[in-house]
Amino acid sequence: MTTTAEAAVAAARPRGGIVQSVNDSLVVAKRNLIRMMRIPEMIIFGLIQPIMFVVLFSYVFGGSISVNGNTSPAAYREFLMAGIFAQTVTFATAGAGAGIADDMHKGLIDRFRSLPMARGAVLTGRTLADLVQTALTLVVLAVVALIVGWRTHENIGSVLAGFALLLLLGYAFSWIGALIGLSVRTPEAATSGGLIWLFPLTFISIAFVPSDNMPTFLRTIAEWNPFSATVQAARDLFGNLPPGYVAPDAWPMQHPVWASLLWSIVIIVFFRTLAVRKYRSASV
């Protein structure tokens, strides 16, 4: 009955155009947000892991890792938090992929494809809903970080810009998750496929340790890693770079804000194109 009503409403609207695509995307985003609200454990479990990372890394590794010659726990917490924030927004990729794979498995994607709606709206709406959930997670995580001693040292505009770059990276990576979710047969496979490449991406970076002592080839990978660019940009905008810090010579480390923007835009354009193309030809 619901599907029939949706089809009737969609058929009554003009097809095509940017306005139609935006409207369809917002409808799908609303549907996914309502679903998230009705399953609160999805949000709760999504918060537990990053909070554990904040507490464990702050108190287990704090004082054990030198940051620009400073081994105090407070210095490491300030160095760490941008990395934890970035890891949190990118790990949401697995959830995005699993959600789309679940919709595929249940046949919901096929029902959407039968409606006269913009082709990319289903995926765009899903990624926008995931972005809202990620933003909520970041807010909670920032509060926890403040409780354990993290502080920013720039104005509010700069701090908000740092969080905006983090969310942009998370949105970009959600398109990778969308492509994975459309390419596998089960939500479990999407979850595994969404995480297996994220661990080397996040750990071969400057998120948790400086790149100074890495082997040359790993240091090069870490410094040109899009994840590292966003972490470096967030540290810069939060005022969390250690006193006397000298950035590595790699261009993304010298210009992290621009590098973060460029990487995120390139990832969105490339993987959105592939995901929409996959969606058009997908079948259960």
More confident residue, 273 or 282: 273
Distance from C-alpha of 45 to C-alpha of 209, rounded to nearest angstrom: 27
With CA atoms as reference, report the closest residue to 173 among 233, 101, 93: 93
How far is the C-alpha of 227 from the C-alpha of 173, rounded, in Å? 10
Q: Cβ distance 158 to 237 under 8 Å?
A: yes
Dump pLDDT digits (tens) for 155-198: 999 999 999 999 999 999 999 998 998 888 788 888 788 788 88
- CB-side neighbour CA atoms (13 Å) of 125: 25
Q: How far apart are CA 230 and CA 197, in angstroms?
A: 18
Cα-only R_g, the chain: 20
pLDDT reported for residue 270? 96
Is pLDDT above 70 for 2?
no
- Residue of 96, 102, 118, 99 lying closest to 25 (CA atoms): 118
Residue range 50-79, pLDDT digits in tens: 788 788 777 777 666 767 666 677 778 888
Check pLDDT > 70 for residue 4: no
Which pLDDT value is given to residue 10?
45
138 or 51: which carries more pLDDT confidence?
138
**pLDDT for 193-236, tens place per residue?**
878 888 889 989 988 888 887 898 999 999 999 999 999 999 99
72-86, 91-105, 187-201, 267-281 — which one is most confidently predicted on average?
Answer: 267-281
Nearest Cα neighbor of 166 from 74, 237, 247, 71 is 237
- Which is more confident, 38 or 140? 140
Residue 109, pLDDT > 60, answer yes
Q: Is the pLDDT of residue 3 over 70?
A: no
User: How large a percentage of the chain has pLDDT more than 70?
Assistant: 88
Q: What per-residue confidence (pLDDT) applies to 254? A: 93
Task: Read off φ and ψ for residue 70, nearest 5 degrees.
Answer: -105, 125
Whole-number pLDDT of residue 16 = 52
Tokens 């006397």 label which residue?
244
> Average per-residue pLDDT in the chain?
83
Domain count, the chain: 1
Q: How far is CA 95 from CA 198, 251, 258, in A?
A: 13, 32, 28
pLDDT of residue 62: 66
Q: Is the pLDDT of residue 110 over 80?
A: no
Domain around 247: 2-7+14-281
Helix (H) or strand (E) holding 105: helix 73-106
Confidence (pLDDT) at 184: 84
